[in-house]
Amino acid sequence: MYDILQGLINGTFGWGWPDWLINLIGYIIIVTIVLIVAPLQMLFFTYYERRVIARMQDRIGPNRVGPEGIWQPIADGVKMFTKEDIVPAAADRIVHFLAPCVVVAPTVLMFAVVPWGPGMTPVDLPTGLLFFFAVSSISAVGLMMAGWASNNKFSLLGAMRAVAQMVSYEIPAVLSLIAIVIIVGSLSINDIINYQSGLLISNRDLPGIPDLGLGWFIFTPVGFVAFVAFFIAALAEGERTPFDIPEADSEIVAGYMTEYSGMKFGLFYLAQYVLNFLLCAITAIIFLGGWQGPGVNWLYAQAITPTNPNGNGLFNVLAGMLGVFYFLLKTYIFFFVMVWLRGALPRLRIDQLMDFGWKFLIPLTLVNLFSAALWVAFTRWGPAEGMLLTMGWSPVLRWLAAFVITLAINLGAYLWLTQVYAASQAERRRAELEELSATL
C-alpha cells in the first residue's frame, strides 16, 4: 500500500507529502477495508450456506427478499438491530455485555496478517502465523465469559464444551503448521506463500522448476497430512458440523449463546462466520499457496515494488486482482466443503470428539513433524550438517528420496493409528454395552 500511495501521490502528482502522512493514509485505508470486508463476508456466507444446504436437502432456501433472496442477509441484520436486548435478572450484566466484544475483537485483528494478493498484506509481520493463532485463542475467553455470566446451566455447559474443544484441537492444528514452518524456516505468512511457487514441486525444493504458482504443500506427503489434520481441527475450531457440540440445539438449546438476544447474539454469529472465513483463508494460504497461481508472479514482477520502483502501476492492479481471485476461489471452495459436511454428517458426541483429537490427530501430527524434519534433511542438508547419506546425489534424487520416505512413514503411521483407534472405540462400545446390560 505504501509503495502504491508513494508512487501515486509523490510520483504521479508530485505533491511531495512526507512519509509519515503517506503511512497514516495507508493504514487508515487498510483498517477501513478490513472493517468493511469482515461483515460483508459474514453476510455472503450466511446466504451462501443457506442456499447450498437447501439445494442439498431438496429445498429452495431464501427466495423472498430480493431476486433469489439475495437481500435476505440484510433483512436478518436489520432484524438483529431491532430485536430487544434481554439480560437475565441473575446474570452478571457487565461480563454478559463484554463477552460478545471479546469474541469479535480477535477475529477482526486476525485480518491484519492475511495476505490477499502480492504486496497486499495489511501488516507483514515476521511472526505473522504465530500472531494469527495467538490472537484466535483469545476467543475462548469470551465464550467462557458468556457461559459464566449468563447464570444458566445450558450456557455454562456449552461454554465448557467450547473451551475444551478449542484447546484440544488447537494442539493438532498448531502441530500441523509447525511441520510447514520447519520446511519453510519462517513464521512469516508471506514467506510461506512465496515458498509455494513452482509446478507441483516447489522450486525452493527443486531449483529449475517452472514458476506457475502451483508448488503447493498439499502435493507433498508432509503437506497433505498436515492439511487433512489442520482442516479437521479448523472444523472443530469454527464449531462446524460434525463438531458443533458447544451449541448443540437438541441437547443444550444454543450453548453459550442461550441467554443472548438482539445484536449481542448477532455479534456471536458475526464472529463465528468471520472465523470460519479466516480458517478457510489460512488453510488456502498455508497449503494451497494463497494468492499463488498461474500468471501472478509474472505480473507482479512488472509492478511497482521496493525492488522495482520504476515498474508500471497497472501491473500492481492486475497482479492484485488475479491474486485476490485465486485466494478467494480457494477460500470459498473450502467453505463449500464445510457446508457440504454440515449437510452430510451427523453431530459427534463429546467423548468421540475428544477421543479422535487426542488419540488419533495429535499422534499423527507428531509423526508428521518427524517426516518434516526428514524432508529438510534430504532436500537441503549436506555433509556440513552431518547428512553424509546424500553426498553426491542430484537435487532430483534427493527430492524423490524425501518424497518416498516421508510418504512411507506417514502412510504407515496412519494405518497403525487407524487400527489402534478402531480397537479403542470397539473396547469403549463393549464397556458401554456391559454397563447398559448391568443397568437393565
Instruction: Answer whether residue 298 shows pLDDT above 80.
Output: yes
**CA trace torsion 13, 16, 18, 24 (10° rounding):** -20
Mean pLDDT of the chain: 87
Looking at residue 418, what is its pLDDT? 94
Looking at residue 292, what is its pLDDT? 93
Q: Residue 371 in contact with residue 223, Cβ under 8 Å?
A: no
DSSP letter at 247 equals G
Q: Which of 117, 120, 42, 79 is closest to 324 using CA atoms?
A: 117
Q: Which residue has the higher pLDDT, 339 or 387?
A: 339
pLDDT band at 364 (very low <50, low <70, confident <90, very high): very high
pLDDT band at 246 (very low <50, low <70, confident <90, very high): low
- Each residue of 402-411: pLDDT tens digit? 999 999 999 9
pLDDT band at 253 (very low <50, low <70, confident <90, very high): low
Instruction: Answer whether residue 301 shows pLDDT above 90.
Output: no
Q: Residue 281 in contact with residue 327, Cβ under 8 Å?
A: yes
Looking at residue 419, what is its pLDDT? 94
State the pTM of this model.
Answer: 0.90
Looking at residue 156, what is its pLDDT? 85
Average pLDDT over residues 374-395: 87
Q: Nine-digit cell at 246?
A: 458447544
CA angle 196, 200, 206 (to 5 degrees): 70
Q: How far is CA 52 from the centre of its chain?
A: 21
Cα dist from 55 to 67, 312, 343, whole Å: 17, 45, 10
User: With helix as H, strand as E and coil as C, how does 357-416 read?
Assistant: HHHHHHHHHHHHHHHHHHHHHHHHCCHHHCCCCCCCCCHHHHHHHHHHHHHHHHHHHHHH
Instruction: Name the packing angle between helices 153-184 and 128-136 (round to 10°).
Output: 170
Looking at residue 205, what is its pLDDT? 86
Looking at residue 83, what is its pLDDT? 82
% the chain with pLDDT above 90:
36
% the chain with pLDDT above 70:
97
Looking at residue 251, what is its pLDDT? 61
Instruction: Answer whether residue 249 shows pLDDT above 60.
Output: no
Looking at residue 187, what is its pLDDT? 93
Question: Residue 202's beta-bridge partner residues?
Answer: 198
- Each residue of 180-226: pLDDT tens digit? 999 999 999 999 999 999 888 988 888 888 888 899 999 999 999 99
Looking at residue 29, what is its pLDDT? 84
Average pLDDT over residues 301-328: 85
Looking at residue 3, what is its pLDDT? 64
pLDDT band at 440 (very low <50, low <70, confident <90, very high): confident
